């Protein structure tokens, strides 16, 4: 019988974890391509993860050989009451899946299950009430593993103790557009001027991030945070929408074809401003020679999904939210 042993990570094992990670997610990196943000991790990054507060990494050995790892974080949630949540950390903030990884040659032998079970039991004993993991809808191994330990896929999940209005967790969709074809004709708002941002847009950009994408820098971003986003050295193009002299929206793209949408200010929605800005962003991507555009969004953001459809995007995949009540 195979013997499986799980232990917490110790500094010095970062190279091992990086190797397991890179071998385990390699199939996803190849299957999905660059736009889905899988990349090789370096040992130093693993060490950085392990040193973040409340983060833990666990290693599994099969017959004495390192075979898998898991990375999770416990957070205190202040909802309608306080409770502890266990999150299986993601390979990338926007596009990734949970870091539950077994190297291909040791799969199907209970290693994934042992890692998951060990962490669930350990954190349940320390008061965690709810655990969340994320995986793409076509990840059959992850679906089998998570459901075998009592996780349920919930498209939109409300947790009473968190909030009655706001969902606690939800699926995301990933939509793609073939940029080698002409863009669809859409109705553009003629009062919108699309241009690259300038320093004097800073106050407007702070509002846009704070009100439209509070999950990036919180509801009140600092000037420093937004300036660092603006001057981010990663190759990208950012465009803003100016409507009757006021800067009201921002969008960007990266050289791998990913699109980021800080948003359009709430009082200026439903005027075709987002669609106009999005159309010009896609045109710019074509001018840069990109052949595929990828956007992601939470399933609850219906307006964003409608906008993607309007411009001819198709939903390529979903990322499922898996919930376990302890
Ligand atoms: C998902 C993953 C961690 C599973 O690890 P594993 O060690 O092979 O899983 P286990 O052997 O512990 O299997 C657990 C259960 O899932 C089932 N299972 C595992 N792989 C499966 C597959 N490809 N198809 C169907 N069922 C599968 C097993 O039969 C077992 O079910 P049982 O308890 O009813 O017998 C592994 O496939 C992996 O590393 N994949 C790449 C990275 C990834 O996608 N991570 C998950 C993100 S959430």
Domain residue ranges in the chain? 4-171, 181-290
Does the structure show a pLDDT above 80 at 230? Answer: yes
Closest alpha carbon to 134 in 122, 146, 117: 146
CATH class of 181-290: alpha beta
Per-residue pLDDT, 36: 81
Confidence of residue 235 (pLDDT cuts 50, 70, 90): low
Ligand 1 pocket residue status of 178, Cβ below 6 Å: no
Distance 118 CA to ligand 1 centre (A): 15
The runs of H, that is alpha helices, within 149-272 are: 202-212, 214-217, 223-230
Ligand 1 pocket residue status of 128, Cβ below 6 Å: no
Does the structure show a pLDDT above 90 at 252? Answer: yes
Ligand 1 pocket residue status of 113, Cβ below 6 Å: yes
CA 108 to ligand 1: nearest atom: 11
Ligand 1 pocket residue status of 164, Cβ below 6 Å: no
Per-residue pLDDT, 303: 86
Cβ atoms of residues 239 and 250 within 8 Å: yes
Per-residue pLDDT, 150: 97
Rounded mean pLDDT of 196-207?
95
Distance 211 CA to ligand 1 centre (A): 40
Per-residue pLDDT, 312: 95
Cβ atoms of residues 189 and 272 within 8 Å: yes
Ligand 1 pocket residue status of 132, Cβ below 6 Å: no
Rounded mean pLDDT of 224-246?
88
Does the structure show a pLDDT above 70 at 178? Answer: yes
- Asked if the domains 4-171 and 181-290 are classified in one and the same CATH topology, the answer is yes
What digits encode the pLDDT tens for the residues 295-310? 999 998 888 899 999 9
Percent of the chain with pLDDT over 70: 99
Per-residue pLDDT, 216: 87
Which residue has its alpha carbon closest to ligand 1 atom 40?
Answer: 101
Instruction: List residues bridging with 58 in a β-sheet.
Output: 8, 70
How far is CA 262 from each of CA 95, 108, 127, 303, rounded to the nearest angstrom? 16, 41, 36, 14
Give 1-4's long-range contacts (Cβ < 8 A, gap of 24+).
2/62, 2/63, 2/109, 2/110, 3/62, 3/63, 3/64, 4/60, 4/61, 4/62, 4/67, 4/109, 4/110, 4/111, 4/114
112, 116, 321, best to mutate for ligand 1 pocket (most atoms within 8 Å of CB): 112
Confidence of residue 37 (pLDDT cuts 50, 70, 90): confident
What digits encode the pLDDT tens for the residues 128-137? 999 999 999 9
Does the structure show a pLDDT above 90 at 94? Answer: no
What digits encode the pLDDT tens for the residues 104-151? 999 999 999 999 999 999 999 999 999 999 999 999 999 999 999 999
Q: Given the structure tokens 């350990």, which residue do they identify?
A: 122
Rounded mean pLDDT of 200-215?
94
Instruction: State how beta strands 128-136 and 82-88 pair.
Output: parallel
Superfamily of domain 4-171: Gcn5-related N-acetyltransferase (GNAT) (3.40.630.30)
Does the structure show a pLDDT above 80 at 5? Answer: yes
Ligand 1 pocket residue status of 102, Cβ below 6 Å: yes
Rounded to whole angstroms, the Cα distance separating 25 from 260 reads: 23
CA 142 to ligand 1: nearest atom: 1
CA 322 to ligand 1: nearest atom: 48
Rounded to whole angstroms, the Cα distance separating 260 from 275 reads: 14
Does the structure show a pLDDT above 90 at 180? Answer: yes
Ligand 1 pocket residue status of 119, Cβ below 6 Å: no
Does the structure show a pLDDT above 70 at 233? Answer: no
CA 111 to ligand 1: nearest atom: 7
Per-residue pLDDT, 115: 98
Cβ atoms of residues 305 and 186 within 8 Å: no
Rounded mean pLDDT of 89-100?
90
Considering only the C-alpha atoms of the chain, give the largest distance between any 2 of them, rounded to a whole number of Å. Answer: 72
Ligand 1 pocket residue status of 318, Cβ below 6 Å: no
Per-residue pLDDT, 33: 77
Distance 140 CA to ligand 1 centre (A): 8
**Mean pLDDT rounded to a whole number for the chain:** 94
Confidence of residue 39 (pLDDT cuts 50, 70, 90): confident
Ligand 1 pocket residue status of 33, Cβ below 6 Å: no
Rounded to whole angstroms, the Cα distance separating 68 from 56 reads: 14
What digits encode the pLDDT tens for the residues 147-164? 999 999 999 999 999 999
């Amino acid at each position: 019988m195979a013997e499986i042993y799980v232990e917490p990570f110790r500094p010095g094992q970062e190279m091992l974890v990086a190797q397991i990670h890179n071998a385990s997610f390699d199939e996803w990196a190849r299957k999905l391509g660059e736009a889905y943000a899988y990349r090789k991790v370096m040992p130093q990054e693993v060490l950085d993860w392990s040193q973040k507060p409340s983060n833990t990494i666990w290693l599994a050995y099969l017959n004495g050989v390192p075979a898998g790892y898991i990375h999770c974080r416990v957070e205190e949630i202040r909802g309608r009451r306080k409770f502890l949540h266990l999150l299986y950390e993601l390979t990338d903030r926007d596009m990734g899946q949970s870091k539950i990884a077994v190297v291909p040659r040791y799969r199907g032998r209970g290693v994934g299950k042992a890692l998951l079970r060990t962490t669930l039991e350990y954190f349940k004993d320390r008061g965690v009430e709810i655990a969340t993991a994320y995986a793409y809808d076509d990840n059959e191994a992850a679906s089998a593993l998570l459901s075998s330990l009592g996780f349920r896929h919930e498209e939109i999940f409300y947790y009473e103790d968190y909030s009655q209005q706001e969902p606690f967790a939800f699926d995301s969709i990933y939509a793609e557009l073939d940029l080698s074809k002409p863009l669809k004709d859409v109705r553009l708002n003629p009062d919108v001027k699309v241009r690259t941002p300038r320093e004097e847009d800073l106050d407007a950009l702070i509002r846009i991030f704070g009100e439209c994408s509070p999950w990036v820098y919180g509801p009140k971003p600092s000037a420093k945070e937004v300036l660092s986003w603006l001057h981010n050295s990663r190759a990208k193009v950012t465009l803003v929408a100016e409507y009757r002299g006021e800067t009201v929206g921002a969008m960007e793209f990266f050289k791998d074809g990913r699109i980021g949408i800080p948003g359009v200010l709430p009082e200026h929605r439903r005027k075709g401003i987002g669609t106009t800005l999005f159309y010009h962003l896609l045109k710019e991507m074509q001018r840069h020679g990109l052949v595929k555009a990828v956007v992601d969004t939470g399933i609850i953001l219906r307006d964003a999904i409608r906008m993607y459809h309007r411009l001819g995007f198709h939903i390529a995949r979903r990322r499922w939210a898996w919930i376990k009540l302890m």
